[in-house]
Amino acid sequence: MNRPKLRRALMAGVLAATSMLGVVAMNTPAHAQMIVKDPTNYAQNVIQAARALEQINNQIQSLQNEAASLLNEARNLTSLPLNQLQELQGQFQRTQQLLGEAQRLAYDVQSIDRAFAQNYRGTNLSGSDRQLVADAQSRWQTSVAALEDALKVQAGVVGNLDGSRGTLERLVTASQSATGALQAAQAGNQLVALQSQQLADLTALMAAQGRAQALDMAERAAAKAQAREQLRRFLTPGTGYRPGNARMFRD
């Protein structure tokens, strides 16, 4: 028997039972009558209640999903409590200050051009012997000062290593324990800032060392030119060495 026929048979049976119950109720005294329920209406009410419960469950699940999404968004928007940018800026400023304290010949294109025009490239070889010696001594002092400046910058860069190591440890810890995308991104940005500060220290060190080496080589080149001029003067007849009386100082 197919389903439509079975359904019709069941409905017929239900109607027959209902009719019988109605007949019984009519023949039963008023004080002995029982409440009669409609099975069809009851089944429909049960189905409707089940559907309503299912809708409520779906709404509860939807609200739970929305709450979880909001919590995730809140985590992603939470800022990183650790900020090392001020410390990194302090290290950079200390290195920059050391570069700004360059002695005698600063890191300035115009100053370098004037100094080389006067003391190196355009060395005055026509002056007196005393002036030649004074110029050589000035160039030597500039070279020594450049070496001292390079050592100061080197010491400052080495001093920044401890601070950089501590900053790196704190940033890596903060990155690994980040609760959201924003915290992870901020930790990554500060790590990039740390690398930039270290590159700045390395650049400053290379600049200071290169300056010292360049001045030393320039001083040697000028000294060679001056030595040739002094040798020429010494060997020139009539202007070379002339003996004279020496005075001895005694107590």
Residues ≥6 apart with Cβ < 8 Å to 242:
none
State how far the Cα of 160 lies from the Cα of 166, in Å rounded to an integer: 10
State how far the Cα of 95 lies from the Cα of 143, in Å rounded to an integer: 21
Give the mean pLDDT of 53-75: 77
**Residue 2 backbone phi and psi in degrees, to 5:** -80, 175
Give the mean pLDDT of 45-56: 80
Q: 110 pLDDT exceeds 50?
A: yes
Q: 146 pLDDT exceeds 70?
A: yes
Quick one: pLDDT at residue 27?
47
- Residue predicted with more confidence, 201 or 129: 201
Q: 155 pLDDT exceeds 50?
A: yes
| Mean pLDDT computed over every residue of the chain | 76
Quick one: pLDDT at residue 32?
46
Q: What is the domain partition of the chain in residue ranges?
A: 9-76, 85-235
State how far the Cα of 196 lies from the Cα of 221, in Å rounded to an integer: 37
Tell me the per-residue pLDDT of 184-240, one tens digit each, with 9 for 90 and over.
888 888 888 888 888 888 988 998 999 899 889 988 888 888 888 888 878 887 655
Quick one: pLDDT at residue 246?
53
Tell me which amino acid residue 176 is: Q
State how far the Cα of 220 lies from the Cα of 143, in Å rounded to an integer: 10
Which residue, among 136, 108, 104, has the nearest Cα to 228 in the 3D structure? 136
Quick one: pLDDT at residue 35?
53
Q: 69 pLDDT exceeds 80?
A: no
Tokens of residue 121, six digits: 């490239």
pLDDT band at 2 (very low <50, low <70, confident <90, very high): low
State how far the Cα of 99 lies from the Cα of 210, in Å rounded to an integer: 13
State how far the Cα of 191 lies from the Cα of 86, in Å rounded to an integer: 13
In this prediction the pTM is 0.58
pLDDT band at 124 (very low <50, low <70, confident <90, very high): low
Q: 136 pLDDT exceeds 70?
A: yes
- Residue predicted with more confidence, 1 or 109: 109
pLDDT band at 23 (very low <50, low <70, confident <90, very high): very low
